[in-house]
């Protein structure tokens, strides 16, 4: 089922203008959750979600004069359940005692504070895989409930795709924003590393954890990013980093061992997407940013498993039976990564980033385009799919966004677009044109 609610930028404008009442709009989204979530299972259950959300919306409505309403005034937002939110217990998809993570008294995450400052209302906590890893919850893909929505930000992606909320927060350490967005047929944006603070977010791998977001279209992603990212410059403003949005960027196709990891059907769909962009007038060049792809991927794996193992070492020693099998295996693997190896993989992030930038300079590439996942969503909710197409970009900390780009076997696939480090404004400004050319959002 496709989304039926109004996209974020449009509904936010209507709320700010007084064309929508925040309390009534919150009630409508609660109706949508009541209708869809028993099947999709994107949100954790609450005793009185409607009463809490409408009360919060009323509080927001009373807090601002019509001329001073902030950008996300009255917008309900889903928040991935590794992010601390006042009034909610963070459980992280785990059976471990939540008191280990701070219980109900953990300080609210900085990104949630920014949402509140922007006028947003927390609609609820969304389902995550265990500790944002590989052990999935029960969330289903709204386009076909026999298929995974992806992960680890499973609930956030599914909630936006099912029209239950126009905006949701996720995190990405491998491919946990870009991939589920592709599987669910929506937009997923992972900013440059550390562009959104991770204070108050349960750590998986501090060296590559990113906070990201889900929306229905690129305009919504730009609006949300402007409220959440450090130092965001609006297009045309002083210090604008969005670049010349009137011209078409040169697109780089990352040929070689990296692209070879896509499934045949996913690669065929990607080639069709690139052909459509070329027909629309975009210049496409082919380059090889990851000649040593296997080494880069190994560095990312050792870094993330090594850091998550150290993060959980004390808890694991006491509560090992409480961990799900795949999480426990990851921790055991990470404990075998030496401190020396870990230091080397941390240093490798910037070297990889510099190599990618160097290839962009040499080939005249403005942004990379590539599959957001090897193919469409696998036909099981016991897996979240493979993050192989996302990991090298995440390791390098580069900004990435996926836009819907057609279907394979009736399921959505996405086009992943990657820019230079720190060029988030420019990336989102340029991707809007790509989405238009593909006839998506």
Contact 139, 125 (CB under 8 A): no
DSSP state of 261: G
- By residue count, the chain amounts to 441
Contact 312, 331 (CB under 8 A): yes
**Using CA of residue 73, residue 219, residue 2, residue 170, what is the dihedral sign?**
negative
Beta bridge partners of 76: 121
Buried b or exposed e, range 116-128, using 16+ CB within 10 angstroms: bebbbbbbbbbbb
Contact 43, 37 (CB under 8 A): yes
Q: From CA 139, how far away is CA 125, in angstroms rounded?
A: 13
* H-helix or E-strand spanning residue 78: strand 76-80
Full DSSP string of 276-303: HHHHTT--EEEE-TTTTHHHHHHHHHHH
Sheet holding 121-126, edge to edge: 121-126, 76-80, 167-172, 210-215, 187-190, 400-408, 411-418, 367-371, 251-254, 284-287
- Active-site annotation holds for 156: no
Backbone angles phi, psi at 274, to 5 degrees: -65, -40
Q: Which of 120, 112, 51 is nearest to 86 (CA)?
A: 112
* H-helix or E-strand spanning residue 401: strand 400-408
- Active-site annotation holds for 190: no
Q: From CA 422, how far away is CA 441, in angstroms rounded?
A: 24
Q: Which of 51, 45, 316, 371 is nearest to 183 (CA)?
A: 371
- Which residue of the set 176, 192, 242, 423 is catalytic? 176
Contact 203, 235 (CB under 8 A): no
Token representation of residue 410: 């009736």
* H-helix or E-strand spanning residue 124: strand 121-126
- Active-site annotation holds for 380: no
Q: Is 170 exposed, middle or buried (0-12, 13-18, 19+ CB in 10 A)?
A: buried
Q: Which of 112, 158, 153 is nearest to 131 (CA)?
A: 153
- Which residue of the set 94, 152, 153, 207 is catalytic? 152
Residue 103, SS3 per DSSP: helix
Q: Which residues are catalytic?
A: 80, 152, 176
């Amino acid at each position: 089922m496709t989304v039926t609610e109004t996209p974020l930028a449009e509904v936010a404008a209507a709320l700010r203008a007084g064309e929508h009442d925040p309390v009534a709009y919150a009630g409508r989204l609660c109706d949508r959750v009541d209708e869809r979530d028993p099947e999709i299972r994107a949100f954790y259950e609450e005793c009185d979600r409607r009463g809490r959300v409408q009360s919060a919306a009323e509080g927001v409505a009373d807090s601002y004069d019509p001329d001073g309403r902030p950008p996300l005034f009255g917008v309900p937002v889903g928040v991935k359940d590794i992010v601390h939110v006042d009034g909610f217990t963070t459980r992280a998809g785990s059976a471990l005692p939540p008191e280990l993570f701070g219980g109900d008294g953990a300080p609210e995450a900085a990104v949630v504070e920014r949402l509140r400052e922007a006028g947003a209302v927390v609609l609820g906590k969304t389902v995550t895989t265990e500790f944002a890893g590989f052990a999935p919850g029960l969330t289903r893909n709204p386009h076909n409930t026999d298929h995974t929505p992806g992960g680890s930000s499973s609930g956030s992606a599914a909630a936006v795709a099912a029209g239950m909320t126009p905006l949701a927060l996720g995190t990405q350490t491998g491919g946990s924003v870009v991939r589920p967005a592709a599987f669910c047929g929506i937009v997923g944006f992972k900013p440059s590393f550390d562009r959104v603070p991770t204070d108050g977010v349960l750590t998986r791998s501090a060296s590559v954890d990113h906070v990201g977001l889900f929306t229905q279209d690129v305009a919504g992603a730009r609006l949300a990013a402007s409220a959440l990212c450090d130092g965001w410059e609006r297009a045309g403003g002083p210090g604008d980093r969005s670049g010349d949005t009137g011209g078409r960027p040169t697109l780089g196709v990352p040929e070689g061992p990296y692209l070879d990891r896509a499934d045949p059907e996913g690669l065929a769909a990607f080639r069709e997407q690139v052909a459509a962009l070329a027909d629309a007038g975009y210049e496409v060049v082919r380059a090889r940013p990851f000649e040593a792809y296997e080494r880069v991927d190994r560095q990312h794996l050792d870094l993330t498993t090594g850091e998550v193992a150290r993060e959980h070492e004390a808890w694991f020693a006491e509560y090992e039976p409480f961990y799900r099998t795949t999480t426990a295996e990851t921790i055991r693997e990470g404990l075998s990564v030496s401190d020396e190896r870990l230091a080397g993989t941390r240093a490798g992030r910037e070297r990889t980033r510099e190599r990618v930038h160097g290839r962009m300079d040499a080939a005249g590439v403005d942004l990379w385009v590539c599959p957001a996942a090897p193919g469409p969503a696998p036909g099981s909710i016991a897996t979240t799919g493979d993050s192989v197409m996302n990991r090298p970009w995440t390791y390098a900390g580069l900004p990435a966004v996926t836009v819907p780009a057609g279907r394979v076997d009736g399921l959505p696939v996405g086009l992943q677009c990657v820019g230079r480090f720190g060029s988030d404004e420019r990336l989102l400004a340029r991707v809007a044109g790509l989405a238009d050319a593909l006839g998506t959002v």
